Structure 1
Amino acid sequence: MDEIAFGTDGWRATLDVFTTPRLRMVAQAVADYLAEEGRDGEPVAVGYDARESSRGFAEAVADVLAENGHDVLLPPRDTPTPLVAYGIVDRDLAGAVVITASHNPPEYNGVKFIPSDGAPALPEVTEAVEANLREPVEADGERGSIEEVDFAEPHFEHAIERLDPDLEGVTVVYDAMHGSGRGVTDVLLERAGADVIRQRCETDPEFGGTPPEPSRDNLQGLALAVDEHDADLGVANDGDADRVAVVTPERGHLDENVFFAAVYDYLLESDAGPAVRTVSTTFLVDRIAEAHGEEVVETPVGFKWVAAAMGERDALMGGEESGGFSIRGHIREKDGVLMGLLAATVESEEPLDDRADRLRETFGDFVQDKVSIDCPDDRKDAVVRELADRLPDDVAGKRVERVNDADGFKVLLEDGSWLLVRPSGTEPKMRVYAEAGSDERVAELLDAGRDLVAPLV
């Protein structure tokens, strides 16, 4: 039981720790939590990603939930997390358990609980689930059923209705990275009229030897394919397809911060509303919002905080620099499938490269980068505490104007640049982020961040 701990987005661990007996304890804890919430016996979904172990783990969870009287809806194949989340709302389910380690290497797996609103579970929910951890018991009452259902078609219909795309004449190279987006995001793009060229859309539990993380380094093949096929766009998803990455003909990998800004700019052409972003996400979004008379809400890192603020402020769009986004009129869960379709829709109206150029000309350059510093999990809190006493008055030659301590420390400097230091919620690392008007300035800030953090680790 001591090995089970819910972090930023559920519990993830290597397979020597992430075992069926422990997972069955989590499933029992979810059943107990639902009973406490008055949803005892209501239908639930159990989703899973493309990892070799995931289907078996999902069946173990389904068995415990059914033993507790819940009818369980189980997809016939690995399914993107956002499709399961949408299914919760579409079918009025009590919630869902999803087996996924997202972008982690194949030796990992994980589990997350999604409540009845289809949005990520907030800490009070995951803490309540953790407090219920116990061995599964044979529950009183009738055992629930386990039924295989398709979560894709309702999501497709909703996505098409929400975005009304016309992708005739748009060519997209889609890279599933051997994850759950294969046969889903590409099919949705085709349904909207796009010509789709597929990459890494075969089943491979080893993900081709590369973790299903859609980073710049891991998408070089996608960039080459966009060039080779003279495509308009490249789209990639991570392992469970809740995140999106985009490749353009001119830029190659399009920084997720720029993608956020470009999509928000597009949405504001026909709609209105604030944006929600994490502390690690670009101020370019703020400049666009200000130009349209809108506001921006800043949250700690973690899409659960973005989702909560989106609900509170009726936000038009919410997102984070790691590639997780959602929009008004959809579930408040990051959805790389919907965002892949939205990226192509934006491209069909005006090339993303042209839009990004126009935003740069209007608002100036915003360059962002980050580095990670190894840090044991049991040292993270101490590093943050010690850093509070060591924050300088100047960073990389510029005066500190303000410090935001909502998530670690975000130091805002007099030249408009910023430096953020925070503990990772998923790995034994401290993260250091910086944003400024040039690559050189960002490099200076990251060096200053390393110098601040490294001695404390």
Structure 2
Amino acid sequence: MTQTLSVSDLMASSGVAFGTSGARGLVTAMTDRVCYTYTRAFLQHMTSEGQFGPGTAVALAGDLRPSTPRIMAACAAAIGDAEGVAVDCGFVPSPAVAAHGFALGVPSLMVTGSHIPDDRNGIKFNRADGEVLKPDETAIKAQTVAVDESLFDADGMLLAPPVLDAPVDVGTAYVARYADFFGAEPLKGLKLGVYQHSAVGRDIVVDVVRALGAEVMALGRSERFIPVDTEAVRPEDVVLAREWTAQHGLDAILSTDGDSDRPLLADETGAWLRGDVLGILCARALELAAVATPVSSNSALELSGWFGDVRRTRIGSPFVIEAMNALLAKGESACGYEANGGFILGSAVTRNGRTLGALPTRDAVLPMVAVLADARARGLTLSALQAQLPPRFTNSERLQNYPTSQSQALLAGLQQGIETDVLARLTKLFGDLAGSEAQTFDATDGLRTTFASGDIIHLRPSGNAPELRVYTEGATAERAASLNQQALERVRDLDMSAGLPECLTE
């Protein structure tokens, strides 16, 4: 029996969300039927874009979660039933399979839940020419898919899942991308640790830095999935990095999240660099002229004076890529990066007769090796290289169980009236914490306030949870952290039961 399923209805009934990051949900909810349907919807959209048809190859890879092989098989079934050819690329980093698809001019998909725990998983879809962006998301959500229900059992699992062919090797080309550009010497003399945990790119990172001349020590390999979030480093990983650098005399430690598209780099003291700082240093190392990054990223980007054009965007790689593409359209060499460290190379980079091609998707390896090579070329440690930036430090936390409607009411109330009204209100709310008046505000994504003291407080409702995120920036790491805690407490204590409190509206 064939049933016609709407993607929007399936999102509601299954609880598996679909956005520019692809499908994501609990493993128990991501049945073969759900994964199959989302994949068919993606391919239908690719057909309308002229990027898929009978006989078209679709590159397929996954991370190391226990549920990933099953979901890959469901995706392969959907590709085959759409008359495409599923090309198994094995278990490799997200940017490696994306680069393979871009090189061949075919769609690709990666089964991964990124940095979230392994009771969840996801499917990240890529066009033949770049990441899925907001217009693609809208079009995919609008698809209806005819599904043959006889393929599945009562639990939504395939009765006869396909057996994938032996995987093609895309890892070698990904390693060669960096070995060919940087050469065999840029990391010579450095002793580097690679914190492997359960990252899918754990061996590839070792191969890359070894190819670039480093002495490498593999650390912390795990056969159990560990959810490493590059924006919220676990306390135990903070301790491990300091212990490893001291114990082994390491110049740096490299790591990534689960699907190896977000980097995590520690300096010679074992201190993890924040992703937005790594992005600035990478853009300089590659001598790029223009940068796109979310509004929440460290303002040392502009204060450094290293870049001719900076575009601030809403949070999310699709917005960063759209802004980066606008910079490229002006003829500028451009990149994008996010606070999670994922680096998006929009332009080809040529140096010493060698060219590194553009890779318009998040990558973890490039920012780490580019910055390490730059530090070595300058004769600096990583901490000394970072010290060349203006002293700006960021911090972020979240107010959990804070209803989205309440977040929206707070931000709407704060922004009522003309600019002077808004600044006066923000000064009343946070001025004593910042030690000065509110000077400017930015409503690109949430409400970001810069005070005369240089302190920054940024409020933003979470897009997928009842949480209010609070980002702060100050002249020291301690200042950013204390300001964040104070701002969280100030917002938590506001009585929003009747809208914005009178003390802020007078």
Q: If the length of structure 1 is used for normalisation, what is the TM-score? A: 0.88
Partner of 1:366: 392
Partner of 1:85: 98
Alignment of 1:196-235 (within 5 A): 196-204=216-224, 206-207=225-226, 211-214=227-230, 215=233, 217=235, 218-235=237-254
- Quote the Cα distance in structure 2 between the aligned partners of 1:311 and 1:399: 36
Measured against aligned partners, the alpha-carbon deviations of 1:32-52 in whole angstroms (never above 9, x if no partner) come to: 112222222322112211100
In the TM superposition, residue 242 of structure 1 has moved relative to its aligned partner by 0.5
Q: Does 1:263 align with 2:263?
A: no
Structure 1 residues 188 and 440: CA distance shift in structure 2, 3 A: closer
- Pick the aligned partner of 1:192 from 212, 227, 240: 212
Partner of 1:357: 387
- Pick the aligned partner of 1:407 from 420, 441, 445: 445
Q: Does 1:348 align with 2:376?
A: yes
Supply the RMSD in Å over aligned alpha carbons. 2.4
Alignment of 1:8-157 (within 5 A): 9-38=21-50, 39-41=52-54, 42-76=56-90, 78-93=91-106, 95-119=107-131, 121-137=132-148, 147=165, 148-157=167-176
Q: Does 1:332 align with 2:332?
A: no
Measured against aligned partners, the alpha-carbon deviations of 1:350-375 in whole angstroms (never above 9, x if no partner) come to: 3221112233xxx3x21210111114
- Quote the Cα distance in structure 1 between the aligned partners of 2:477 and 2:384: 21
In the TM superposition, residue 446 of structure 1 has moved relative to its aligned partner by 4.2
Structure 1 residues 426 and 47: CA distance shift in structure 2, 3 A: farther
- Pick the aligned partner of 2:179 from 160, 169, 175: 160
Does structure 2 retain, via aligned residues, the 8 Å contact 1:100–1:240? Answer: yes
Does structure 2 retain, via aligned residues, the 8 Å contact 1:7–1:426? Answer: no
Measured against aligned partners, the alpha-carbon deviations of 1:107-146 in whole angstroms (never above 9, x if no partner) come to: 1111121111233x112111211221535349xxxxx996
Alignment of 1:163-178 (within 5 A): 163-164=182-183, 166=185, 167-178=187-198
Corresponding letter in the other structure for 2:205: T
SS at match of 1:323: coil
Structure 1 residues 414 and 174: CA distance shift in structure 2, 3 A: same
Corresponding letter in the other structure for 1:104: I
Partner of 1:448: 487
Question: What is the number of equivalent residue pairs in this alignment?
Answer: 434
Structure 1 residues 8 and 247: CA distance shift in structure 2, 3 A: same
Does structure 1 retain, via aligned residues, the 8 Å contact 2:470–2:484? Answer: no
Partner of 1:389: 413
Structure 1 residues 439 and 338: CA distance shift in structure 2, 3 A: closer
Corresponding letter in the other structure for 1:246: L
Rg bigger for which structure?
Answer: 2
Corresponding letter in the other structure for 1:287: L
Does structure 2 retain, via aligned residues, the 8 Å contact 1:380–1:423? Answer: yes
Does structure 1 retain, via aligned residues, the 8 Å contact 2:63–2:92? Answer: yes
In the TM superposition, residue 157 of structure 1 has moved relative to its aligned partner by 1.8
- Quote the Cα distance in structure 2 between the aligned partners of 1:82 and 1:331: 8
| Unaligned residue ranges in structure 1 (runs of 5+) | 139-143
- Pick the aligned partner of 1:430 from 461, 464, 468: 468
Structure 1 residues 332 and 454: CA distance shift in structure 2, 3 A: farther
Identity %: 21
Corresponding letter in the other structure for 1:151: V
Please list every run of at least 4 consecutive aligned residues from structure 1 whose deviation after the TM superposition is greater than 6 angstroms.
none
Q: Does 1:307 align with 2:325?
A: no
Partner of 2:3: none
Structure 1 residues 89 and 263: CA distance shift in structure 2, 3 A: same
Does structure 2 retain, via aligned residues, the 8 Å contact 1:73–1:149? Answer: yes
| Unaligned residue ranges in structure 2 (runs of 5+) | 1-9, 150-161, 349-357, 416-424, 498-506
Partner of 1:273: 289
Measured against aligned partners, the alpha-carbon deviations of 1:203-248 in whole angstroms (never above 9, x if no partner) come to: 32x32xxx22241623421332122111111111000000001111
Does structure 1 retain, via aligned residues, the 8 Å contact 2:244–2:270? Answer: no
- Quote the Cα distance in structure 2 between the aligned partners of 1:118 and 1:165: 30
Measured against aligned partners, the alpha-carbon deviations of 1:274-299 in whole angstroms (never above 9, x if no partner) come to: 121111100101112x2x46121101
Does structure 2 retain, via aligned residues, the 8 Å contact 1:317–1:326? Answer: yes
- Quote the Cα distance in structure 2 between the aligned partners of 1:277 and 1:453: 29
- Quote the Cα distance in structure 2 between the aligned partners of 1:220 and 1:162: 34
In the TM superposition, residue 439 of structure 1 has moved relative to its aligned partner by 4.0
In the TM superposition, residue 272 of structure 1 has moved relative to its aligned partner by 4.0
In the TM superposition, residue 451 of structure 1 has moved relative to its aligned partner by 2.3
Bigger RCO of structures 1 and 2 (CA < 8 A, at least 6 apart): 1
Q: If the length of structure 2 is used for normalisation, what is the TM-score? A: 0.80
